[in-house]
Structure 1
Amino acid sequence: MLTDTGRFDTPDAAKYLQQLCKHFAHKVEVQFDATDKTGHGTVALGMGPATLRATAQELTADVTAPTAEELDHARQIIDNHLARFAFREEFKNMIWQSATAPA
C-alpha cells in the first residue's frame, strides 16, 4: 500500500475535521466521535483509509491506496471536499508529501 500525507495550516482544523467526517459519514463508514477531543477521524474511502487529525494550527490527512492512481484519487477526494468547507481561506489543496517516496 502507498501512503501520502497532506497538511493544511489553519486555526480551524478541528472544525474542518468534524465537517469532513460528518459529510463522509453520509456515504462511507467513518470513525469519529465529536465528544472525543483527540482531534482524530478515519474515513473508509473505497481505495483505502484516510486518517484525519487536527491540532490547534494544522489539519493532517494520511491517505492510503494500493496504486499511485488510486492514491492520487484519494488526495483529490480530500482536497475537493475540504475546498467546499475552507473556501473562506481560499483553500486550493493540501501540501502533500509521499511517505513512500525515496529520501
Structure 2
Amino acid sequence: MQPLWLRTPLHDGEAANCANWRRQCLFRWPIRTERASRYLQQLCKHWSHGYTVKFDNFEGHIDFGKGQKVDMTAENKVLTMTVTNVSRETTIELAGVVTEHLKRFAFREDLDLSWSEPVG
C-alpha cells in the first residue's frame, strides 16, 4: 500500500497562504480481524496515559504531538490504521511502534501486519 502525500497548512486558518504549507506523510493500512474494535480501544487506552486520545468503539485518535498522530477506524472486521507524520523516517518509526503494540495485544491471533514503506 502506497502512502498518500498531502499538503497541509502549518497552522489552522493558513490554508489560503500557500507559502506556509508543508508536506506530511499519511500512511494507511487495513488489518483484518474479528476484534477490530477491541484492539482500537486497547491501543487508545494504552496511550491515553501520556498523550491526547479520543475514542469510542469505532474510531480512535491519538495525538503524539509535533505533527505525529494515529487515527483508527474499526468496521466490518477491519481495523484501519492511519499514521500521519512530518517526515518519511518518523512515519516509518511511528508505524513500527504502533505495529509492535498491536502484536502484543493480538498475540492470540495471527494477524497480517505487513505494510509497505512510504516513499518520498
SS class of match (1:16): helix
What is the percent sequence identity of the aligned residues?
32
Larger RCO of the pair (alpha carbons < 8 Å, separation 6+)? 1
TM-score, reference length from structure 1 = 0.81
Number of equivalences: 96
- TM-fit CA distance, 1:49: 1.3
TM-score, reference length from structure 2 = 0.71
**Alignment partner of 1:7 is 2:30:** yes
Rounded Cα–Cα distance in structure 1 between residues aligned with 2:77 and 2:114: 14
Bigger mean CA deviation after superposition, 58-67 or 45-54: 45-54
Aligned 8 A contact 1:14 1:56 in 2: no
Q: Structure 1 runs of 4+ off > 2 angstroms?
A: 93-98
- TM-fit CA distance, 1:56: 2.9
> Whose Rg is larger?
2
Cα offsets for 1:34-76 (capped at 9, x unmatched): xxx5x00100124511101101310011101111110001101
Rounded Cα–Cα distance in structure 1 between residues aligned with 2:72 and 2:114: 14
Rounded Cα–Cα distance in structure 2 between residues aligned with 1:80 and 1:59: 15
Structure whose residues are more often helix by fraction: 1
- TM-fit CA distance, 1:101: 5.3
Rounded Cα–Cα distance in structure 2 between residues aligned with 1:68 and 1:88: 31
SS class of match (2:108): helix
The aligned runs of 1:22-41 (5 Å cut-off) are 22-33=45-56, 37=57, 39-41=58-60
Rounded Cα–Cα distance in structure 1 between residues aligned with 2:27 and 2:113: 11
**Alignment partner of 1:44 is 2:67:** no
Rounded Cα–Cα distance in structure 2 between residues aligned with 1:51 and 1:97: 18
- TM-fit CA distance, 1:94: 2.6
